[in-house]
Structure 1
Amino acid sequence: MAVTLKASSLVKPSEPTWNGSLPLSEWDQIGIITHVPTIYFYKPTQDFLSPSHKIFRTLRDSLSLALVHFYPLAGRLRWIGGGRLVLDCNAIGVELIEAETESKLHHLGDFSPSPEFEPLIPSVNYNKPIHELPLLLVQLTKFSCGGISLSMSISHAVVDGQSALHFISEWARLARGEPLCAVPFLDRTVLRAGGPPRACPRFGHTQFDHPPLLVGQTTNDGERKKKTTVAVLKLTKTQVERLKSKANEGRASESSRAYTRYEVITGHIWRSACKARGHMSEQPTMLGVCVDSRSRVQPPLPPKYFGNAVLDVVATARSGELISKPIGYASSRIREAIDKVTNEYINSAIDFLKSQPDLSQFQDLHALGSNNGPFYGNPNIGVTSWLTLPIYGLDFGWGKEVYMGPGTHDFDGDSLILQGPHDGDGSIMVAVCFQVAHMDAFNKFFYEDI
């Protein structure tokens, strides 16, 4: 798809905002610290198509208003040594790009992620120093049919999914001419940002160990270089219920808590990946699980805490066990990992990270072309849940989107579970990325084993 960039500008807060350095929490500074893209497609109502600049100006002006409240997004990150970052709130601004294409929305078919999306998503030049990179980049692309795409790349070192969607929904509200609904809570010291360790870690934190390698290999360099492809697989409500029923067969007692959708679907993805990759039965495999700590810390984080509050934990098993045992075994391993995340465990993990001389070993810099940091490709996977996030129904004044989805992702083993796009039908979408050599087999086992 040929896309022409028409203009690019920095949008600053419409009023003066606090200026200074904001300490980041440990959760902000580990894992993915690059930008995460999402994309929305719209068919705007006729009154927004004329004059031609109406949509762009609406976005620009409302974005400037939103940044008054969410001013950290207008700042810049800065390295301070030891692989650590600080957020300079300096109101330099976010990048807003205007583009156009001769293509029509229907050329994208069912909007399944593909290389066609790439020119619709703002690219981040990671060759620049980190203090020169906008934390938010937005691209509006107009199609010749009158449709538009709105894509956003937002720094994961500043926000997690829940905080990003809080910002986006408030921005849309302001674009519609409505008042802000809920102000963000910006003080990250509630997660001990910038403070020293309080105690020695009380728990073992295997999530910070290097994930297993393929049996017989001494590095993962070869696996990192293999070509990947993406797919979005749909599960109907009936298929989800069937998987849940299979996973919960023979549970120890009637009173035990049934496995959740996430635990069941993620267990199914894990098993299918082991089969598709053709692992030996003794192959160790690790699953990265994201757990929201907002309600698990004591006291709970304030409503609308703005930052990263997600803790990564890991479930481990041998591929042979996952494949030979019922799906409930995989779900049980995931449940065990999630249930460890208590207030004491979270604070122990914070103390562990605060005591580290350098955090760079825990940072995923894949987008920068780095071979350092954790690798959750073969024989491992990571599954993120957007099941509870309000990702649909984003209306800037010209109607709700016709499609919303993740942007491009090309990291082997990177998986995402989200609600189906149709209200109340109970369907689930699973966006996966695997090596090209494994994707057909994964697709086969994913549906065959339901």
Structure 2
Amino acid sequence: MVLKISSMVFKVKRHKHELVKPSNPTPNELKLLSNIDDQLGFRYHVPLIFLYRYNPSMLGKDPVQVIREALSKTLVFYYPFAGRLMECSNGKLMVNCNGEGVMFIEADADVTLDDFDNNFVPPFPCFDELLYNVPGSDGIIDSPLLLIQVTRLKCGGFIFSLRMNHTMSDGSGISQFLKALSELANEAKEPSILPMWCRELLCAREPPKVTCIHREYQQLPPDTKSNFIHHSFFFGPKEIAAIRALLPHHLSKSTSFKILTACLWRCRTKALQWKNSNEEIRLLCIVNARCRLNPPLPEGFYGNTVVFPAAVTTVGKLCGRPLGYAVELVKNAKNEATEEYVHSMIDLMETNGRPCFTRSGSFVVSNISKASLKDLDFGWGKALYGGVAKAGLGDIPGVSVYMHFTNSKGEQGRVVPICLPINAMERLEKELDNILKANNNGKMILRSNF
């Protein structure tokens, strides 16, 4: 279930970085971000990576040139991405749509996709070379909102890497932008879904009213620093069935997301070996609020629409009680994300200084397995892998993103990158193996204390 990590090393030759601007004039204006966009917890960059094989039908076409030209055209529609963030005196963010452009890097690597030995999962070898951090480009204020690198490979394939300022979009929003980019790369005249700004729909009410309890924003002392490693885990139908078998009948019908999340939270907590069993810990479920709002947001909206309802318990309760206890906590947390909860959170940002979500003792999970990032096609076919480049987001290690994945056996499921201290990662693998290990009769051997 734990997926093999590639340790290969290769060289990347980069051309001088450049700014790609909209191909036609765009409005020069200021646009306010929403109260969800500009919270402190989103002021970091999200790296994504997509791997593509050589396609004989694209002979003579250069992916760098195709994507660069499509990017310039796409920025005509998504022109705020070509701007720069500004911060008002009260901490509110706005986009200066000045058309400065997106940072773009052309590169070549002395490696083939076969050298990856089908290990197309995070963490990727030499990723810092595949998405080079141009000095001065990684700030939040007055820095490029996107950085893109296209790296040609010796086999004729290529790697498309992207870094996005999270204040501009969530997973659904950047998926919409990338779909538009791929459509224009395939010679469409305009995106099939035209972008809509409409960030004012997610600003505070007048007057603001915090009507819900938001324990996901309780401010606690930060966790101690440690040496972290990244591994990816695959969960297909067999793995989900093994976890489901641990639950009583009334919970065994729960969604695979809730079951997997409860299991990972419990196993991860055990692996971390908290010293105090009374320590309060949290699971933050990132919930897409688009479908919670009435009237709904317009189809082309590409801003952040996620909330973080928290399941809160103690180490002793989570690890000492049956897995069903954790499943109930996950279900209750997700059910909290009502329309009123969303507006209450937006008002909290207005009245409490846009706090960051609770990092200490938190495990944050996001499910983008339905975002179809692997379907991104610039003309060379679908990506072998498309999704986040690593576990954790920004400087927050306790974040895991679930992505759709097909393993080497052709089984479809989810790949989950996880970031933990080295010893804790080893213990996590053992915890999960104890759930999924089969005996000679083909039955699951399960830990008695689950």
Give the TM-score of the pair, scaled to structure 1.
Answer: 0.87
Aligned-pair CA distance for 1:47: 5.0
How is 1:34-113 mapped onto 2 (pairs within 5 angstroms)? 34-50=44-60, 54-109=62-117, 110-112=119-121, 113=123
Aligned residue among 271, 274, 284 for 2:266: 271
Aligned residue among 415, 422, 430 for 2:400: 415
Instruction: Verify: 1:385 aligned to 2:367, yes or no.
Output: yes
**The residue matched to 2:49 in structure 1 has which SS?**
strand
- Structure 1: how far apart are the matches of 2:430 and 2:206? 48
Number of the residue aligned with 2:338:
342
1:197–1:350 contact (8 Å) kept in structure 2 = no
Number of the residue aligned with 1:370:
none
1:293–1:309 contact (8 Å) kept in structure 2 = yes
5+ residue gaps, structure 1: 212-218, 364-373
**Residues 134-168 of structure 1 deviation map (CA, whole Å, 9 limit, x = unaligned):** 11111011122222111011110000000100110
2:54–2:155 contact (8 Å) kept in structure 1 = no
Q: 1:178 to 1:258 in 2, by over 3 A?
A: same
5+ residue gaps, structure 2: 1-9, 437-450
Aligned-pair CA distance for 1:432: 0.7
- Structure 2: how far apart are the matches of 1:320 and 1:124? 45
Aligned-pair CA distance for 1:120: 0.4
1:157–1:308 contact (8 Å) kept in structure 2 = yes
Aligned residue among 269, 288, 295 for 1:292: 288
- Structure 2: how far apart are the matches of 1:65 and 1:43? 25
Number of the residue aligned with 2:349:
353
**Residues 111-153 of structure 1 deviation map (CA, whole Å, 9 limit, x = unaligned):** 3314522210142646876443111111011122222111011
Number of the residue aligned with 1:15:
24
**Residues 353-397 of structure 1 deviation map (CA, whole Å, 9 limit, x = unaligned):** 1112x33x427xxxxxxxxxx425xx3311111122121121101
1:15–1:68 contact (8 Å) kept in structure 2 = yes
Structure 2 letter corresponding to 1:133: S
Structure 1 letter corresponding to 2:183: R
Aligned residue among 316, 322, 326 for 1:320: 316
Aligned residue among 414, 425, 430 for 1:439: 425
1:186–1:306 contact (8 Å) kept in structure 2 = yes
- Structure 2: how far apart are the matches of 1:306 and 1:64? 18
Number of the residue aligned with 2:383:
401
Aligned residue among 129, 132, 135 for 1:119: 129
Identity of aligned residues (%): 28
- Structure 2: how far apart are the matches of 1:238 and 1:438? 25
Number of the residue aligned with 1:202:
211
- Structure 2: how far apart are the matches of 1:44 and 1:76? 35
1:122–1:153 contact (8 Å) kept in structure 2 = no
Number of the residue aligned with 2:192:
181
Aligned residue among 322, 341, 359 for 1:375: 359
Structure 1 letter corresponding to 2:195: P
Structure 2 letter corresponding to 1:220: P
Q: 1:442 to 1:240 in 2, by over 3 A?
A: same
- Structure 1: how far apart are the matches of 2:235 and 2:267? 14
Instruction: Verify: 1:190 aligned to 2:217, yes or no.
Output: no
Number of the residue aligned with 2:328:
332
1:49–1:146 contact (8 Å) kept in structure 2 = no
Structure 2 letter corresponding to 1:447: D
**Residues 32-65 of structure 1 deviation map (CA, whole Å, 9 limit, x = unaligned):** 22110111111122354536xx222111111111
**The residue matched to 1:107 in structure 2 has which SS?**
helix
2:120–2:384 contact (8 Å) kept in structure 1 = no
Aligned residues, how many? 418
Structure 2 letter corresponding to 1:308: N
Structure 2 letter corresponding to 1:421: T
- Structure 1: how far apart are the matches of 2:193 and 2:410? 26
Number of the residue aligned with 1:163:
173
Structure 1 letter corresponding to 2:336: K
2:47–2:162 contact (8 Å) kept in structure 1 = yes
Instruction: Verify: 1:230 aligned to 2:230, yes or no.
Output: yes
* RMSD of aligned alpha carbons: 2.3
**The residue matched to 2:406 in structure 1 has which SS?**
coil
- Structure 2: how far apart are the matches of 1:46 and 1:165? 27
- Structure 1: how far apart are the matches of 2:372 and 2:330? 24
Q: 1:424 to 1:244 in 2, by over 3 A?
A: farther
Aligned-pair CA distance for 1:424: 8.9
Number of the residue aligned with 1:261:
256
Structure 2 letter corresponding to 1:11: V
